[in-house]
A and B are shown apart, each in its own frame.
Chain A
Amino acid sequence: MISRFLKLEWKQFFRSASFGKSIFLNILLVFFALYFIVSFSILGVGGFYILKEQFPDKDPLVLVNSYLLFAIVADLIFRYIMQKLPVMNIKPFLILPIKRNKIVHFILAKSSASLFNVMGLFFYIPFAIVLIREGYSVLGVLGWLASMILIIQCTNFLNFLINKNNIALGGLITLLVGGYLVEYFQLFNLASFVGKGFDFIYLNPIVSVVFLILLIVLYIANYKQLKNEVYLDALISEKVEQANASDLSFADKLGDVAPFIKNDLRLMWRNKRTKSSIWMVLVGLLYGLFFYPNPLYADKDFMFVLVGIFSTGTFLINFGQFIPAWDSSYYKMLMSQNFKYERYLKSKFTIMSISVVGLFVLGIPYVYFGWKILLVHFAAMIYNVGVNTHVILYGGTFNRKKINLDEKAAFNFQGTGAVQWLIGLPLMILPMIIFGLINWLVNFEIATLTIAILGFVGIALHKKLMAFITKKYIANKYVMIHAFNQEN
């Protein structure tokens, strides 16, 4: 039976939509995974020596122990946000002659092998090996390592018990912040108090059995809870959201593009995938704070352009690169409706332009770092409206990947093709090069002016450019309909 389950898992993995992605993306993902593995391992191997060098009078193991509490709590919070029990795909098994117990055990066992539990091992295992090499007691280190592995598993199962319970999340965050604060004000060192417990395990490795017992208790609790919930009206039910109907009649002022704009606003608020793009906008807006306070970049004017384009254009880039794939799931319907394609594209242009201006206004406080920055941001805004909107709309004609709006957004590369990666170049690098070159050859004012003028040229040619882009979209209509019909 188990072997059959495993076979299905294997097929699910290799036949999943995410696996069928382009080779380029797969390489990129593998690269990311390797990066994490390598950096964790390096930290594991080198951590001991780094700590030894930085704090020669302290025992590295004791030092690590005294921060483990934070690591564990942070891990739990991270899991709380990211990790879910994989229950949905057991639906077909419920009506087959398989005991419910077995299904529940399988789900739980599967979860304990998840990536979340594996990552930490790349740190703890090398660290433990180094400890042994450095002459720590073998038994003590093994006991400590066993505790770590068991604690990871415990957090895994604890997470499923407290999941969806906001009080638990609040408690965890309070513990994390409170622990830090009491330590900061030297009232009580909670973390190192807990750390002493881990020191004790090293000295008495047999104590690690406590965590084994804890793990068993948590597992049984999970088992009991889950067994009662593998029903269609409990855990496996799909949540039905209450619609929140907000009044968007203000958009009616925008004329004939209003229906599309209202749709796009709703699209963004009501789908998992797009919601996170909204948070990306905030990150993009604050992007300048990475650079401007840093004296290293103070005289590098060309960086202003990059930040300017990015912070005023973050919505443009996030939203624009998936035009018209956002509408892919009902593209057929749109194509049989009575409107001119230009109107559809104009609505996208309008929404992007408004966002650019809005983000510029929100970014005005950057003037704190110098009037030059504001000036460049202003030019970048015009460039975004005049040039980048058109470039990204044109890029959309190469869009051939359907986007499933209901899927979560983090690490979701669905809908991403090579174009999405390449389009970043003309959007951000080109104005940076132009600006940098003129700034170097002539001066700052002329360079800023050039960027702005390029933008104005784009705005002046708007009608012509849109007509050209529209023609491209219409020419690609059938290919897009066909492509958006495929579940990729």
Chain B
Amino acid sequence: MIQTTQLSKKYGKTEVLNIDALQIPTGQSFGLVGNNGAGKTTYFNILLDLVRPSSGAITNNDIVVNQSEDWKNFTGSFIDESFLIGYLTPDEYFDFIGDLRGMNKADIKSFLTQFDEFFNDEIIGKKKYLRDLSKGNQKKAGIVAAMMGNPKVVILDEPFANLDPTTQIRLKNIIKELTENKEITVLISSHDLTHVTEVCERIVVLDKGNVVKDIETSEETLKELESYFSV
């Protein structure tokens, strides 16, 4: 369960985020939608304790994220390419992350074989550094790294951007499988309303830092969102 209470973030006088209360139960696939500057990435950054809130707090499975670091044990995330170490090959990068997450060589190998299809033979065993991969392939590596070490919470910022259509579909399946057993909480943000309504059971719309909509996904959700954004 991820609990947000009276959270706000201000830069100088401008408030970029203001969430009074938001609860994300364990096992939910949660989507965050909003135009540029709505506060999606800021929210994720606060959740990962990369940015301090001006007031309030986020509790990740009973741990206040800016007071203890224990949430790191069960939280995997990929925000942007700056999460990748450019001078490593994807294999070395997975080894590094896996090492930090307490996996041994065999664990890492068997973990990665699940994603053979997702990688489409373009990531593993190639003699290329991450910095030289295309944006889409970089993203694939980052997303998979976020799922290493059996996390209970997975946070992905705009996972669908830059991916090719096939990979988008595969990623949707991966996310659905993750949340199938209602044990892993997945938080994603997206600009693509179709994808997000397809994958997420619940969608929250942010606008200028405020929650303006909180929807249980249903048949009508896509229409509702489209009409909201087509102002």
Contacts and interface: CB of A to CB of B under 8 A. Distances in A.
Interface in A258-275: 258-259, 262-263, 266-267, 270-271
Given A263-B96, A406-B131, A332 B50 contact: yes
A270 B87 contact: yes
B197 interface: no
A241 interface: yes
Interface size of A as a range: 20 to 34
Contact of A338 (B79, B100, B131): B100
A240 interface: yes
B51 A241 contact: no
Nearest to B155: A336
Contact of A330 (B51, B84, B101, B132): B84
B45 to A, nearest CB: 8
Interface string A395-419: 0000000000110000000000000
B73 interface: yes
Interface centre among A244, A262, A329, A405 (most CB of B within 10 A): A329
B73 A338 contact: yes
B82 A329 contact: yes
Given A241-B132, A332-B83, A266 B101 contact: no
B28 interface: no
B86 A405 contact: yes
Contacts of B88: 263, 266
Contacts of B77: 336
A51 B178 CA distance: 82
A398 to B, nearest CB: 20
A333 interface: yes
Interface in A470-488: 478, 481-482, 485
B49 A259 contact: no
B201 to A, nearest CB: 25
A405 B87 contact: yes
A270 B79 CA distance: 24
B85 interface: yes
B99 interface: yes
A339 B126 CA distance: 28
Interface in B53-103: 69, 72-73, 75, 77, 79, 82-89, 91-92, 95-97, 99-102
A8 B124 CA distance: 42
A242 interface: yes
B128 interface: yes
Contacts of A332: 48, 50, 79, 82-83
B72 A241 contact: no
A460 interface: no
Nearest to B75: A336
Contacts of A23: none
B129 interface: yes
B72 A336 contact: yes
B176 interface: no
Interface in A203-262: 240-245, 258-259, 262
Interface string A328-353: 01101101111110000000000000
A242 B89 CA distance: 10
A266 B95 CA distance: 13
Interface centre among A262, A332, A340, A481 (most CB of B within 10 A): A332
A478 B49 CA distance: 8
A245 B89 contact: yes
Contacts of A340: 69
B82 A266 contact: no
A243 B90 CA distance: 10
Interface string B121-147: 000001111011000000000000000
B106 to A, nearest CB: 15
B82 A245 contact: no
B103 to A, nearest CB: 11
Contacts of A337: 72, 97, 100-101
B92 A330 contact: no
B168 to A, nearest CB: 23
Contact of B132 (A240, A329, A485): A240
B191 interface: no
A336 B48 contact: yes
B92 A241 contact: no
B100 A478 contact: no
Contact of A329 (B72, B86, B91): B86
A406 B95 CA distance: 23
Nearest to B145: A333
A478 B87 contact: no
A335 B82 contact: no
Contacts of A406: 86, 131
Contacts of B128: 240, 242-243
A244 B48 CA distance: 33
A335 B100 contact: no
A333 B100 contact: no
Contacts of A244: 127
A245 B75 CA distance: 30
Please provide the 7 A-B residue pairs with the shortest distance between their CB atoms, ordered closest to farther.
A333-B83, A338-B72, A259-B99, A270-B87, A243-B127, A336-B48, A243-B89
27 contacts: A240-B128, A241-B129, A241-B132, A242-B127, A242-B128, A243-B126, A243-B127, A245-B92, A262-B96, A263-B85, A266-B88, A270-B87, A270-B129, A329-B82, A330-B85, A330-B86, A332-B50, A333-B85, A335-B49, A336-B75, A337-B72, A337-B97, A337-B101, A338-B72, A339-B72, A406-B131, A478-B51
Given A243-B126, A336-B77, A406-B86, 11 more contacts: A244-B127, A262-B96, A266-B88, A270-B87, A332-B50, A332-B79, A333-B85, A338-B100, A338-B101, A339-B100, A478-B50
Interface of B: 48-52, 69, 72-73, 75, 77, 79, 82-89, 91-92, 95-97, 99-102, 126-129, 131-132, 149
